[in-house]
Structure 1
Amino acid sequence: MRFLLEALARVRALAQFITTLLFAGIFAVFLFAVFMRYAMNQPLAWADELNIILLLWVMFIAGALVLRDDEHVAFDIAWNAAPPRLRRAMGIVGALAFGGLFLVALPGTWSYIMFLWRERTTVLEWRLDLVYSCYLVFFVAVIVRFAAALLKLLGPHWRRQVGD
Structure 2
Amino acid sequence: MDQLIVAGRWLRRRAENISALLLVAMFVCFIVQIVSRYVFNRPLGWTDEVSVLLWIWCVLWGAAFLLRERDEVRFDIIYSASSERTRRIFTIVTGIAAIALFGIALPAVFAYVTFLKVEKSAYLGIRLDYLYSIYVVFSLAVIVRYAALTWQAIRGKAPDLGQGGSAL
- Global fold match (TM > 0.5): yes
RMSD: 1.8
TM-score w.r.t. the length of structure 2 is 0.89
Q: Is the CA contact (8 Å cut-off) linking 2:69 and 2:160 kept in structure 1?
A: no
Equivalent in the alignment of 1:46: 46
**Match runs of 1:43-122 below 5 Å:** 43-122=43-122
Structure with the greater relative contact order (CA < 8 A, sep ≥ 6): 1 or 2?
Answer: 2
Unaligned runs of 5+ in 1: none
Structure 1 residues 2 and 133: CA distance shift in structure 2, 3 A: same
Whole-angstrom distance in 2 between the partners of 1:39 and 1:162: 50
Work out the number of aligned pairs and report it.
162
Whole-angstrom distance in 2 between the partners of 1:162 and 1:19: 24
Give structure 1 regions of 4+ aligned residues with deviation exceeding 3 angstroms: 1-8, 159-164
Equivalent in the alignment of 1:12: 12
10-19 vs 48-57, which moves further: 10-19
Unaligned runs of 5+ in 2: none
Question: What amino acid is aligned across from residue 159 of structure 2 in structure 1?
Answer: Q
Whole-angstrom distance in 2 between the partners of 1:41 and 1:7: 49
1:152 maps onto 2:152 in alignment: yes
TM-score w.r.t. the length of structure 1 is 0.91
Whole-angstrom distance in 2 between the partners of 1:162 and 1:10: 22
Identity percentage over the alignment? 36
Which secondary structure state, in structure 2, belongs to the residue aligned with residue 161 of structure 1?
A: coil
Deviation at 1:2, TM superposition (A): 4.3
Deviation at 1:128, TM superposition (A): 0.7
